[in-house]
Amino acid sequence: MASYCSSSGSSCWRYDVFPSFRGEDVRGNFLSHLVKEFENKGIITFKDDLIERSHTISLEIIEAIRTSKFFVVLFSENYASSSWCLDELVEILKCKEEKRLELLPIFYKVNPADVRNQTGQFGGGYRETCQGKDSEKQTKWKAALIKAANVAGEASYNWLVEADFITKIARDISAKLNATPSKDFENVTGIESHMRKMFPLLCLEDNEVRMVGIWGPPGIGKTTIARVLHSRLSSEFRFTVLMENVRGNYQRTIDSGEYNLQVRLQTELLSKIFNQKDLRVNHLGTIEERLKRQKVLIVLDDVNKVEQLEALANEIHWFGPGSRIIITTEDKQILVGHGINHIYEVKLPCRKTAVEILCIYAFKQSAPPEGFMDVVVEVAEISGHLPLGLRVLGSHMRGKNKDRWKLELRRLTTSLHEKVEKMLKISYDELHVRDKALFLHIACMFNGENIDLVTQLLVNSDLDVSLGLQVLLDKSLIQITADREIVMHNLLQKLGREVVKQQSSDPGKRQFLFNTKETCNILGNNTGSGKILGISLDISEIQNDLSLSERVFEDMRNLMFLRFYDKTIDEKTSLKLHLPRGLNYLPTLSLLHWVAYPMKYIPSQFRPESLVELRMMHSQVEKLWEGTQTLAYLKTIDLSFSKNLKEVPDLSKAISLETLCLQGCESLVDLPSSVLYLQKLKWLRTTMCAKLKVVPPNINLASLEVVDMEGCSQLKTFPDISKNIETTFMGNTGIEEIPPSVGQWSRLESLDINSCRNLKMFSHLPKTLVYLYLTGSGIEMIPDCIKDLQWLYYLYLDGCKRLVSLPELPGSIKILSANNCKSLEKISSSFNSPKARVEFSKCLSLDGEARRAIMQQWIYKRACLPGREVPPEFNHRARGDFLTVNLGDVAASGFKACLLLLPSGSNKVCTVYCHLIGKEGRLIAKHRFGGVFKDFVAAHLFIFYSVLLEQVDVIRFEFSSIHYEITECGVQILTDAS
C-alpha cells in the first residue's frame, strides 16, 4: 500500500504504519496479533526486530518515522520506563505536525488519564526515566505525553474480546489510509478557483457544526468539487465519508417505504464511516447517537430529495463540534428548505479553462496541437463550456484528425452526444409534468426571452408558470439574468428539443417546430396538425423562396406562438415567405412575430384577443385590421420599417400596451387619437417617419418614459403628451419652439433636439435635466434659467452657428462641447465648473474676454479653443514639445499645461500625450487625452489640468500628438495656496 513518493522528493512513503511500543509489554502478544491483522489488510508496518536499542533512538528509526504515513502509539504500563520510547514519541509528534499526518493512541491495560498526568504505575516509570535528564528533555517528554494522550484513541478496557479490539483498530486504520489525500485531483483543470471560493464557506477554523451546499446544473462539476474537498480535508477529521449518488440510492430503495428508506440510508452512511459492512441501524436516532461527539466530514453527493437530508443530516446537533457536512444538489430549494445558508453556486468555466479541459481529454495535454485551435474552440462553444460536455466530447474526439473533427462538428451542432443526453435527462425526468412542459416551451421557443414576457405569453395556459420557473431555477435548469432574461444552457436546450423530436417521427405531429428544413417542408406541403403549439423559423436560413398556401395554418388550430424572424435583419430584408393566393386564416395567437410579412392586411378572421406581442418589422402591411379589437393582453407592437403602413388601428382597448414602435414607417401621417387610452405605454418610437405631421395634443400618458421622434422632419409641433417622460429624442424634426409646459416635466433627464434648425430659442427647462443636446440646432441664445439646472452634467452645442453668447452655467457641468460655433463671441465670466471638460475648437469669433475667462478663471479637466500663442500665465514656456521645470522647495499640488497645435490638413481626431519624467529618466506619470478635436483650420490651444502625486525637484514635461504639430508648450505649477 505504501508505495507513493511525491514529485518533489520531500515525502517518500516506505511504510503505512509506524508502531511505537514497549517491547516487553506487548511484542509477543497484542502487537504480534495487530501486525498480523495489518498484513492481512495489506498494511505495510515498520518492524524494528533487527535494530539494536540504546539510550537514544537511531537514525534508522528517525528515517522510518519520516517515511511512514500513519502512527500507532501503543501505551502500556512500562512505556514511559524507556527513554527510547519517549524520544520516539517526541519525534513522531514533530513529524505529525510538520506533515499533517495522523496518530492513533492505543491505551493497552493503562488508563489514558495516567498517561496524560503521568500518574499511577505509568507515572512511576516515567519519573524513574527522568532521573538524571536535563530539564529541556523532561519538558519535551511531558508535553509529548500530554499531547498524545489528548488525541482521540482506543482503550483496551472497553473491549471484552481482544481479537475484536484488534480487528476494529486494523479496520479503522485501513479506512484512514484509503482516505489519505491522493494525487488524483491535483491536476483537475480549474479546481483551484473552486477551492478558493469554497474554503471561506467551510470556515474550517470555526468549531461550530456547519452544513455547506454546492449547487449547480447537471454536469457542471459539483461531484468533482466534492471529491476534491473530501480528499483534501479528510486528514482534519476523525471520521469521514463520501456518499456518492444519494439520488441513485434513494431510487433503488424507493419501494421500501419512507421509513425503511431512511433507515437504509443511515445504515449505508454509518457502515462507510465506521468501515463496518455488518453494521445495523434499528432506528433513526442512530446517527446522532454514534456521531454527536465526533468531529466528522460527511459529503453527500447528488441529493435530490429533502427526505434524504432528513435521514442523513437532519440537525447540526447530530454531529460533534467542528464537523462539516457538504451537500451537492441541482435543487437549491432543498438546501434553502433545510436551513442551509452557506451555498456555493458553481458557475461555468471561462473560455480559456473550457478549452483546457477539452484538450486534456482530447489530446492529454492542456493546449491543442498546431492547427487544431479553431475546431477545439468550436467544440468548446457547442458544449456551452459545461465540464461534462467537455469531458465527453473530448474523449469522443481523442485520436481523430482535424478533418474528422470537422465532420463530427456538423452532427454535434444539432444533436446531443448520447452520454451527455443520458446524464442531463435524469433531471428532466424528475420534473412534474407541468414543469416538463414549461421546460420544453423554453427550450424550443423562449430561451433568451424576458421572464415577464414569457409569463404573459403563457398566462392562459395551465402550466403554473411562476411556480414552474422557480422550480426550473432552483434545479439549475435555467438562469435568470440581471436583465430578467431566461437563459437555458445550450446543451439543456438541445435536450429539450431532442425530447420534442421523440414525440413523433412526423414533425407535423410534434408540439414545436424549430428545425429549418422540417419547418419549411411542413409549411410548404401544408402538413401541419393540431399538435403544434409553436413555430420558430429563422428565415435567413431558408435557401430558396417558399410559397405558402392560403390555408397553411388551418389545421394548426392550437398554434399559440408564431415566430418568423431574421437573425441577420437589416433595412434591406428580402421576402422569403410568399403568399401568392393570400392568407385565409390565422389561429388565436399569443405571439405573432413575422418579419417581412408579405400581405397588406392580416386575415379579417384573425382574433387578436390573446395577442401579447405583435412584431411585423419590414412588412408590406398597410393596416393591421379594421374597427376596434379587444387587445387586453397586448404589450408590444413593433411595425418598424413597414414602409407602406398608412394607418395605425384603433388602440383604445390596448389597455396593457407598453411599447409602440413605428420606426421607419415612411407612409404614416398621423397617430390616432386612441393613443390617449394607452395609460401603460412606456416607449413610443416614430423615428424616421418622414411624413408624420400630427400627434394628438392635450393628452397626458401616465406611464410614458421615452419618446423618440428623431427624423420626423414634417413634425412642426413639440409633442406635449406626458409630464412623466424621462427621455425624449426630437432631433432632425421641424419643431419651432419648446412649449413652456416642458418646464413642468418633473422626470425629464435627457432632452435631445439636435439639428432642429427651425428652433431659435426656448424659455423653460425642467430642473431635473441631466443631458441637453442642441448640436446643429438653430438656437440663437440660451435662457438665463439654465444656471438653475443643478443636475445638468452634459451640454452639447456643437455646430450652433447662430449662437452668439453663453450665459452663466451651473457648476454641475462635466462636459461643455461648443465646437464650431462660428458666431459665438461672449462667455459669462462667472462660469466656474471645476470638473468640466470644455471644448471651443473652431470658435473663431471668441472675443478676448471670453478667451481669458477660459484660460485664466477656470480650473477644469481640459479645454480647447482657438489661439496663436501660449498665454503668459503659463510661466514655464518653451518652443517645441518639451520643457523642464525646476521645482526646488515648491510644494506643488498639480499643474496646468497649455499646448499650441497647428493644423495639418488631416481630418483625423487629435490625441494628445503627456509624460512626466524625473531624474535619470524615471517616469513619474503619463496622461492621454483622446478626441480633442479634428479638421481645424487655424492654430488652437489645448489646456489641461492634473494633480502631482509625488514631490520631486525637477520634472521634464514631454508632449506629443498624433497627426498634429505642437509648436509651443507652457506649464503653470499649482500649489494648495494657488
Catalytic positions, written as ranges: 88
Tell me the pairing of strands 15-20 and 68-75.
parallel
Residue ranges in 342-489 assigned as alpha helix (H): 351-363, 373-382, 387-397, 402-414, 418-429, 433-441, 451-457, 465-474
Q: Are 266 and 293 in contact (CB under 8 A)?
A: no
What residues are paired with 103 via a beta bridge? 71
How far is CA 158 from each of CA 162, 298, 420, rounded to the nearest angstrom? 10, 26, 52
The length of the chain is: 978
Q: How many CA atoms lie within 13 A of 626 on its CB side?
A: 4
The CB density around residue 978, as the number of other CB atoms within 10 Å, is 11
Nearest in space to 926 (alpha carbons), one of 953, 944, 903, 909:
944
Phi, psi of 921, rounded to the nearest 5 degrees: 75, 15
Please state, in angstroms and rounded to a whole number, the distance separating the CA atoms of residues 145 and 117: 8
Nearest to 631 by CA among 677, 563, 597: 677
Sign, CA dihedral 312-316-319-324, equals positive
Nine-digit cell string for 250: 434513494
- Dihedral sign of CA atoms 687, 693, 695, 698 in order: positive
Rounded CA separation 513/517 (Å) = 10
Note whether 225 and 214 are within 8 A (CB). Answer: yes
Rounded Cα distance, 950 and 219, in Å: 53
Whether 693 contacts 671, CB under 8 Å: no
Give, rounded to a whole angstrom, the gap between the first and last alpha carbons of the chain.
79
Residue 908: DSSP 8-state: S
Count other Cβ atoms within 10 Å, centred on residue 410: 9
For cell 443511515, name the residue.
266
Angle at 607 between CA 604 and CA 610, to 5 degrees: 155
Q: Which three cell numbers stand for residue 902?
A: 497647428
Question: 466: which 3 cell numbers?
Answer: 411562476
Q: Classify residue 489 by its DSSP letter.
A: -
SS3 content of the chain, % helix, strand, coil (to 5): 35, 20, 50
Give the Cα separation of 328 and 335 in Å (integer): 9
Position 223, amino acid: T
Helix axes 387-397, 402-414, angle to 10 degrees: 140
Is 702 in contact with 725 (CB distance < 8 Å)? Answer: no
The set of cell numbers assigned to 475 is 434545479
Pseudo-torsion of CA 710, 716, 718, 720, nearest 10°? -120
Write down the residue that cell numbers 434524504 correspond to. Answer: 308
Does an H or E element contain 928, and which? strand 923-929
Q: Which amino acid is at 760?
A: K
Tell me which long-range contacts 174-181 makes (C-beta under 8 A, separation of at least 24). Answer: 174/41, 174/42, 174/43, 174/275, 175/275, 176/70, 176/102, 177/1, 177/16, 177/43, 177/69, 177/70, 179/230, 179/234, 179/240, 180/69, 180/234, 180/235, 181/231, 181/232, 181/234, 181/235
Q: Which helix (H) or strand (E) holds 169?
A: helix 162-178
